[in-house]
């Protein structure tokens, strides 16, 4: 647990550092160019890059020791941000901010690469929980992960704006480089008992990424695919809030005040993560998650029914309180029912699908709201039609989108509680044996790992290419 605490704290600082620079880039680009298109492209490119790279990152995590992955990703981010700093020094700022020239996009692209690679650490941390934390304590450990992510989010939302205002983009890059050097120095003295390569090094190309094998593992653990699909749908609805949360907040607050209000509402991350860390997720995490998502949908539908700053911030706080429960549930279920040898790739597959959902929703909903919903809500006919339900105000169109999105989320989660998939994944989780793949002396990892009950049949499946078994890694010895 001491090693887990070190890795958790180190990852929190690293995530804060990379997000701090990425958000600072977004603020700097908008303040200097006033281009919504530039900031929109930056945000969408970031989420899509995370989605496209997640499967590869998962394979890398499975094929390397977790501490090596964390060190390598941090060093790569340091090199990328150093290169970006060199571009900032060598290219005049006026030229760099010319969106019609290539230098701004080169600068942003380098920072994008350095920030996205950092997500490999999050996958490594998730699989490290399986090694370092006993099964009965993993839900609480995942709650702690949610808590530190919330701290990073809160700090980033405030510090990035202040940094651009006080230090400028150049000073911000210097601060980030210094923090990354400290992060790497700390990682070099961390010792990781039981750290090992989870998967055999199959080589390169398709076998190394092995998307088909990861999908086979997900399908073999009955109901697990439904969990990932539901999480993806939840992120799809969340993408609506991502696209419209800031515009709604800026209708209620000044730009300076909105940053602090967002940070205040985001303290819900800390509360929710702390509750999970203290109390866990109960005997059936899936039931806990679906009930929580019903409440999230109701909150999302109601915290904009009137144009009220107090209502909005309070609703945002409560909504943020529930997000760590959903995240911790998915982590906890995957850590039990997926063989350790595949966890990096399955976590990567889930991240790829879920990360793609939010920007897809944002790209669809934002233009729809801009072209049709908001003009209708501001028209005389729209005002009269929406007044009984949503009251009056300039952002009633956004309130309508939130209302429909929240009710949809609540309805789907309520139906999920009565579905066969919910009963199946609950049974799979209940019947899976706890894993202990991180036994430092190598004596505790032989034989079938966690999830063996749920994937036992998968080892007999054939992939149609020479009769090779789909899931053979489940019985790998510890020294692999």
**Six-digit token pair at 466?**
């020479």
**Which residues on adjacent β-strands are paired with residue 469?**
462
Segment 45-55 shows an average pLDDT of 80
**Six-digit token pair at 140?**
């609480």
In the chain, the number of structural domains is 2
- Residue 326 shares a structural domain with residue 419: yes
Residue 202 pLDDT level (bands cut at 50, 70, 90)? very low
CA–CA gap between residue 128 and residue 200 (Å, rounded): 18
Torsion of CA 148, 154, 159, 160, to 10 degrees: 100
- Residue 414 shares a structural domain with residue 332: yes
Output the pLDDT for position 199: 55
CB 300 within 8 A of CB 405: yes
Output the pLDDT for position 475: 34
Q: Would you say residue 119 lies in a domain?
A: yes
In this model, does residue 179 exceed pLDDT 50? yes
Segment 439-447 shows an average pLDDT of 41
Output the pLDDT for position 56: 84
What's 12's domain CATH number?
Answer: 1.20.1250.20
CB 36 within 8 A of CB 26: no
Residue 28 pLDDT level (bands cut at 50, 70, 90)? confident
- Residue 142 shares a structural domain with residue 66: yes
Q: Is the pTM of this model over 0.85?
A: no
Q: Would you say residue 468 lies in a domain?
A: no
- Residue 273 shares a structural domain with residue 152: no
- Residue 225 shares a structural domain with residue 101: no
Residue 10 or residue 338, greater confidence? 10
CA–CA gap between residue 76 and residue 351 (Å, rounded): 21
Q: Would you say residue 470 lies in a domain?
A: no
Q: Helix, strand, or coil here: 476?
A: coil
Output the pLDDT for position 459: 37
Tell me the C-alpha to C-alpha distance, in Å, between residue 242 and each of 69, 135, 170, 238, 378: 30, 33, 28, 6, 22
- Residue 298 shares a structural domain with residue 173: no
Segment 24-51 shows an average pLDDT of 75
In this model, does residue 216 exceed pLDDT 80? no
HEC-encoded secondary structure of 257-270 = HHHHHHHHHHCHHH
Residue 40 pLDDT level (bands cut at 50, 70, 90)? low
- Residue 74 shares a structural domain with residue 31: yes
How crowded is the C-beta side of 174, counted as CA atoms within 13 Å? 8
Output the pLDDT for position 75: 95
Output the pLDDT for position 438: 53
CA–CA gap between residue 252 and residue 314 (Å, rounded): 14
Name every residue whose Cβ is closer than 8 Å to that of residue 65 and which is 6 or more positions away in sequence: 192, 195, 196, 197
Residue 11 or residue 222, greater confidence? 11
CA–CA gap between residue 319 and residue 101 (Å, rounded): 41
Segment 339-345 shows an average pLDDT of 78
Output the pLDDT for position 240: 75
CA–CA gap between residue 9 and residue 15 (Å, rounded): 10
- Residue 138 shares a structural domain with residue 231: no
Give me the residue label for tokens 């609480």: 140
Q: Would you say residue 467 lies in a domain?
A: no
Q: Which of 192, 223, 244 is the last residue of a domain?
A: 192
Q: Helix, strand, or coil here: 351?
A: helix
CB 477 within 8 A of CB 199: no
What's 351's domain CATH number?
Answer: 1.20.1250
CB 455 within 8 A of CB 471: yes
CA–CA gap between residue 156 and residue 21 (Å, rounded): 9
Helix (H) or strand (E) holding 179: helix 168-189
Segment 93-117 shows an average pLDDT of 90
- Residue 143 shares a structural domain with residue 245: no
- Residue 117 shares a structural domain with residue 218: no
Q: Which of 341, 321, 348, 322 is nearest to 476 (CA)?
A: 341
Give me the residue label for tokens 């009251």: 391
Q: Exposure string (b/e) for 344-353, b if CB count within 10 Å is 16 or more?
A: bbbbbbbbbb
Q: Which residues span the domain enclosing 156? A: 1-192
CB 147 within 8 A of CB 140: no
In this model, does residue 466 exceed pLDDT 50? no
Q: Would you say residue 131 lies in a domain?
A: yes
Q: Which of 161, 192, 223 is the last residue of a domain?
A: 192
- Residue 188 shares a structural domain with residue 263: no
- Residue 374 shares a structural domain with residue 250: yes
């Amino acid at each position: 647990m001491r090693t887990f605490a070190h890795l958790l704290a180190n990852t929190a600082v690293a995530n804060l550092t990379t997000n701090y620079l990425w958000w600072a880039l977004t603020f700097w680009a908008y303040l200097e160019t006033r281009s919504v298109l530039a900031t929109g492209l930056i945000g969408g490119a970031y989420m899509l890059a995370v989605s496209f790279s997640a499967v590869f990152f998962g394979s890398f995590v499975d094929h390397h020791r977790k501490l090596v992955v964390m060190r390598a990703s941090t060093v790569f981010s340091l090199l990328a941000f150093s290169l970006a700093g060199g571009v900032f020094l060598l290219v005049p700022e006026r030229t760099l901010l010319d969106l019609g020239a290539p230098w701004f996009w080169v600068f942003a692209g380098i920072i994008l690469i350095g920030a996205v690679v950092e997500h490999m650490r999050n996958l490594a941390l998730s699989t490290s929980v399986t090694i370092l934390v006993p099964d009965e304590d993993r839900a609480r450990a995942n709650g702690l992960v949610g808590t530190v992510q919330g701290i990073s989010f809160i700090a980033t939302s405030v510090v990035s704006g202040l940094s651009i205002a006080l230090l400028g983009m150049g000073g911000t890059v210097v601060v980030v480089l210094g923090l990354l050097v400290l992060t790497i120095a700390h990682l070099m003295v961390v010792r990781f008992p039981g750290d090992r390569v989870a998967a055999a090094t199959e080589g390169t190309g398709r076998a190394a990424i092995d998307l088909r094998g990861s999908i086979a593992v997900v399908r073999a653990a009955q109901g697990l695919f439904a969990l990932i699909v539901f999480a993806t749908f939840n992120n799809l609805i969340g993408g609506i809030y991502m696209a419209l949360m800031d515009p709604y907040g800026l209708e209620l607050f000044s730009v300076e005040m909105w940053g602090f209000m967002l940070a205040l509402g985001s303290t819900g991350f800390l509360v929710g993560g702390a509750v999970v860390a203290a109390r866990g997720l109960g005997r059936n995490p899936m039931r806990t998650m679906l009930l929580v998502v019903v409440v999230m949908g109701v909150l999302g539908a109601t915290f904009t029914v009137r144009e009220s700053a107090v209502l909005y911030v309070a609703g945002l706080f409560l909504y943020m309180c529930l997000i760590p429960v959903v995240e911790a549930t998915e982590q906890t279920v995957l850590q039990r029912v997926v063989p350790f040898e595949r966890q990096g790739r399955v976590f990567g597959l889930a991240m790829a699908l879920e990360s793609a959902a939010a920007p897809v929703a944002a790209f669809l909903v934002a233009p729809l709201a801009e072209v049709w919903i908001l003009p209708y809500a501001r028209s005389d006919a729209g005002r009269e039609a929406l007044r009984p339900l949503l009251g009056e105000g300039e952002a009633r169109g956004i309130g309508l989108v939130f209302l429909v999105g929240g009710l949809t989320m609540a309805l789907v989660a309520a139906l999920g509680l009565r579905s066969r998939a919910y009963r199946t994944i609950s049974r799979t989780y209940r019947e899976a044996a706890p894993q202990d793949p991180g036994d430092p002396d190598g004596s505790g990892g032989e034989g079938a790992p966690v999830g063996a009950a749920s994937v036992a049949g998968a080892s007999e499946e054939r992939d149609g290419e020479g009769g090779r078994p789909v899931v053979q890694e489940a019985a790998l010895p510890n020294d692999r």
